[in-house]
Amino acid sequence: MRHSQRTDDQLRPVTIETGVNRYAEGSCLITFGHTKVLVTASVDESIPGWMRGKGQGWVTAEYGMLPRATHTRGRREAAAGKQSGRTQEIQRLIGRSLRAVVDLKALGERQVVLDCDVIQADGGTRTASITGAWVAMASALNYLRDEGVLKSDPILDQVAAVSCGICNGVPVLDLDYEEDSEAEADSNFVLTGAGQIVEVQATGEKRGFSRAEFDRLFSLAEIGCTELFALQKAALAAVKR
């Protein structure tokens, strides 16, 4: 039995609250158990120089963690003067994941910037970020359609992400920090609403693991993402203007 009393294929309680920032075109506060991520989607009508004149837009992401989001205080990256390799790796992943479900031509020459800031961390901050970023982005693009800025919907599909890992030899879904730090293997799956793979990352932490174990992690991720897609839809439907 997991220390949290969850079954192997059970997500932590997930909540998605939209409209949490009065300035952003889209925003949400997403929680996976004790993990809390504030996501804003900002629409920027001026795109970077290298993108201009191509008749298409761009989606990018930035990720940050408040210094005391974690058990012990970490160093503030702005004070350190640079983003860690881990931060850059995560924000690149978030950006790729979201772009995978957006028609950049239909978006037009504008940029959507997704800021994912971790308010409190208990494992799964990157998967919560991706899952929440889709809601914030969809909310922002719906707003642009309501305003008549966009003619069609650039969103091609949903995208969500969840972690899986092997703890005490057992593949389990949605690791919290305690499980994550003990896991023999750790993985993140980013899947589309249609069940396609956007990104898979799996790492043996203490040992290599077998292809059979990997297949089980994959199946758990499919279970988890199916639940997340339903929660995303419900959150988006509840957005008020």
CA distance 31 to 122: 10
* Cβ 197 to its own copies shortest distance, Å: 5
Q: Is 181 in the site for its own copies (CB under 8 A)?
A: no
Query: Is 120 a binder of its own copies (CB under 8 A)?
Result: yes
Q: Does 105 bind its own copies (CB under 8 A)?
A: no
DSSP state, residue 216 = H
Would you count residue 223 as binding its own copies (CB under 8 A)?
no
| Burial state string for 114-125 with b = 16 or more CB within 10 A and e = fewer than 16 | bbbbbebbbbbb
Token output for 4:
């949290």
Q: Closest by alpha carbon to 128, among 92, 166, 89, 174?
A: 174
Window of 16-24, 48-56, 127-135, 147-155 that interacts with its own copies by CB under 8 A: 16-24
Residue 182 binds its own copies (CB under 8 A): no
Among 51, 66, 149, 239, binds its own copies (CB under 8 A): 66
Distance from first CA to last CA of the chain, Å, rounded? 44
Binding of its own copies by 169 (CB under 8 A)? no
Complex with its own copies: residue 1 or 79, whichever CB lies closer: 79
Answer for the pair 173, 162: CB distance below 8 angstroms, yes or no: yes
Write out the two tokens for 143.
Answer: 């707003």
Spatial neighbors of 117 by CB under 8 A, at least 6 apart, are 37, 38, 39, 63, 64, 65, 66
For residue 177, the minimal CB distance to its own copies (Å) is 10
Greatest Cα pair distance, the chain, in angstroms, is 57
Which residues are annotated as part of the binding site for phosphate? 86, 124-126
Which residues are annotated as part of the binding site? 86, 124-126
Q: For binding to its own copies (CB under 8 A), which residues are involved? A: 21-24, 27, 34, 38, 40, 42, 44, 62, 64, 66-73, 76-83, 85-89, 91-92, 96, 100, 113, 115, 117, 119-120, 157, 185, 187, 191-192, 194-204, 207-211, 213-214, 218
